[in-house]
Amino acid sequence: MKEVVSITLGRSARDYEFTTTLLGETVHVRRIGTDGNVSRVKSLIQEYDGKVDAIGLGGIVPTFHVGSARYTHNEAQSIANMAQQTPAADGVLLKGTLERWAVAQAVKQEPGRFNYRRVLVFSGIERYPLAQALSTYNIDLRFADPKIHFGLPVTLPSLSWLERYAKWAMPRLIDKPYYRIHPIGRDMPTDQRLESDCKWADVLAGDFAFIRRYAPHNLKGLTIFTDDPSREEIDDLKQRGVHTLITMTPPISDERPFVPADILEAMVLAVTGRSSLDEASVMQVISEAQWSPTIQRLTDEAEIDKFAFVIHPLSTRFIYNHPKLRIFRFFPQRLVEWVAAYMPPLYISRIRGIKSEGTGKEIEGILLTLGGTPRELMRRPESFTYRRLIRASRMAERMGAKLMGLGAFTSVVGDAGITVAQKSDIGITSGNSLTTAATLEAAKQAVKLMGGRVDRGTAVVIGATGSIGAVCTRLLAQAVGDVICIAPRPERLLALKQRIEAETPGAKVTVATNADDYVGRADLIVTTTTALNTKIVDIEKLKPGAVVCDVARPPDITEEEAAKRPDVLVIESGEILLPGNVDFGFDIGLPPGTAYACLAETALLTLDGKFDDYTLGRNIDMNKAKEMYRLAQKHGLKLAGLRSFDRYVTPEMIAEKRRLADERRRALGIPLENGDEQIPTEMEMHVS
């Protein structure tokens, strides 16, 4: 039987021994901790030198390999030099190979395991091979080395920064006690210096000694990538809410589930009779012993459901909002706009904290973006946008999303999502059902605020034959009765008129290709076009006190145009207040917790577990718009306050507009209206 002893600067309270088999040989292993006492470590190495088959140097790395540089720590090297007869193993070679192998195997078992995750590596200097392996995936990577080594208030954002840091830091650390690099010794209270970084992360990676020392108590939902936690420590991680534990090796014995790399390397030296190992022999042993990582789910909670949502810049200035594209603000705008259109989909952020008020279910979102502005997307073939959206859907699927929503122009281009849905393996929705419901509710509230009544007024829908415009018109015909449909193609207008008259007998439906002759009599104008550089509404022709609900993106009416008629209320389409403590991780241009209705529909479907294709094509099912209203009530989605050009509509603003509207009516000889309805306290959209 082969004898292996591991002598470590770590805690003596973790000492253990076990007997196991490796490559047909029986091996007895004993671990001896010294509670950080360097002199005792050296004394024990001398005591066992020549009396065992191999010695493991636990928690000690004499030479650090970072990039192409090597840094030797003097105290650790003096410990490694103590053994003169028995081969000693620090585990560095085996650890580096196992770490890379563990990452590859973890991804093979669970594709997308690390993609687009936030990964905090406690010590990149000590775990450089692990950092290299993780960096090959699309992750947001941070290294905590400066905070741990020097108490600096920064982390490192990439491997290149880690390598620069190592060139500066290691000459200052190699002569210092080893505990300046690695947490060793007796039990110590949790150090709080990495608490905010751990809250930021999805994955914590590093030696378990770092996790024991620096990880906060609350680890709910996190993945831990480490080496040798004991059964008691694994139970503790479970109690602290860790979702997944990934260790570099399989359980070695019944007595001890996982052991550090120095013990594994010492076991290999013992059974092979070699005095040292090279990379080829290490890989041979890993293959013969069939070592692979262990992935354990520590929580009974189901994997949180995820959705993805695709946006795109509405103009060139929005392109610079993405951190990776800020440098392009120094280039000519037209060139940037043209080049950005050809970029692949980009990950922006994770949306967290959406929680149903009705069921308590919590979900996550993934925000993606295309690079094309509406102008660039419209001047290219539909297939240009389709290809990018299909690629985005595959990217979303790799990241764990079950449903993807199409935002802004991506929801109306071509066949409005049908082609994308046919070539995607996850559900697709344009979000236009809830957009319709929210638009009509916002419009109704706005008309009431301005002193009018929806049920006895006149509504004009510009873009009436589009996907949103058509269902808005059909629902308005049920609520208003007098609806004027404006669109450029007469044949579609006639088909819409016949459909409305069949659905709602008695409704008065007028169709026209130009709005100028009709907007002056409307109490409500809903504009849903996708036209660019075209004047859709002549605001000077609107009647006093009229309401314009501008659904178009980019907007059909600018703030400068609206200023010409301060007696008219121009509002944006109804935005939705999502339930829970919502964090978008990115500024989407709306107040906290507030989302555009198309994004909210994607979240709402995910809350309700509906992952099939939903709102697609030009013909929105009116029943789906009504279902969205009912699901919004079930899960606690609410219409946010009315907004006009990115500002909330206030009672003072309404009072002033109504005063100006009355003055204009008097000047024009129009009888004053006597409406005094107040804004409803919750959504009351017509859904019968």
Higher pLDDT: 357 or 645? It is 357
Confidence band, pLDDT 50/70/90 cuts, at residue 367: very high
Judged by average pLDDT, the poorest of 138-152, 186-200, 347-361 is 186-200
Whether 685 shows a pLDDT value over 70: the answer reads: no
Higher pLDDT: 672 or 87? It is 87
pLDDT value of position 679: 37
pLDDT value of position 677: 43
What is 434-573+645-668's CATH number? 3.40.50.720
pLDDT value of position 673: 59
Whether 534 shows a pLDDT value over 80: the answer reads: no
Integer-rounded Cα radius of gyration of the chain:
32
Q: Specify the DSSP element, H or E, that contains 171.
A: helix 159-173
Q: What is the mean pLDDT of residues 549-568?
A: 86
- Encode pLDDT of 22-67 as tens digits: 988 999 999 999 999 999 999 999 999 999 999 999 988 999 999 9
Q: What is the mean pLDDT of residues 605-626?
A: 90
pLDDT value of position 160: 94
| Whole-angstrom distance, CA of residue 32 vs CA of residue 41 | 9
pLDDT value of position 686: 34
What is 92-261+274-297's CATH number? 3.40.50
Confidence band, pLDDT 50/70/90 cuts, at residue 189: confident
- Encode pLDDT of 128-140 as tens digits: 999 999 988 878 8
Q: What is the mean pLDDT of residues 381-399?
A: 90
Judged by average pLDDT, the poorest of 64-73, 344-353, 450-459, 599-608 is 450-459
Whether 687 shows a pLDDT value over 50: the answer reads: no
| Whole-angstrom distance, CA of residue 475 vs CA of residue 176 | 75
Q: What is the mean pLDDT of residues 556-568?
A: 89
Percent of the chain with pLDDT over 90: 50
Cis ω before 488 (30° cut-off from 0): no
**401: DSSP letter:** E
| Whole-angstrom distance, CA of residue 92 vs CA of residue 182 | 14
Whether 505 shows a pLDDT value over 80: the answer reads: yes
Contact 574, 552 (CB under 8 A): no
- Encode pLDDT of 230-278 as tens digits: 899 999 999 999 999 999 877 887 777 888 899 999 999 999 999 888 8
Domain ranges of the chain: 2-88, 92-261+274-297, 306-344+351-422+578-636, 434-573+645-668
Mean pLDDT of the chain: 88
pLDDT value of position 304: 84
- 114: tokens are 């690390």
DSSP E strands in 185-279: the ranges are 203-205, 223-226, 244-247
- Encode pLDDT of 57-79 as tens digits: 998 899 999 999 999 999 999 99
Note the pTM of the prediction, 2 decimals: 0.61
**Domains 92-261+274-297 and 434-573+645-668 agree in fold:** yes
Confidence band, pLDDT 50/70/90 cuts, at residue 675: very low
Return the amino acid letter for 663: E
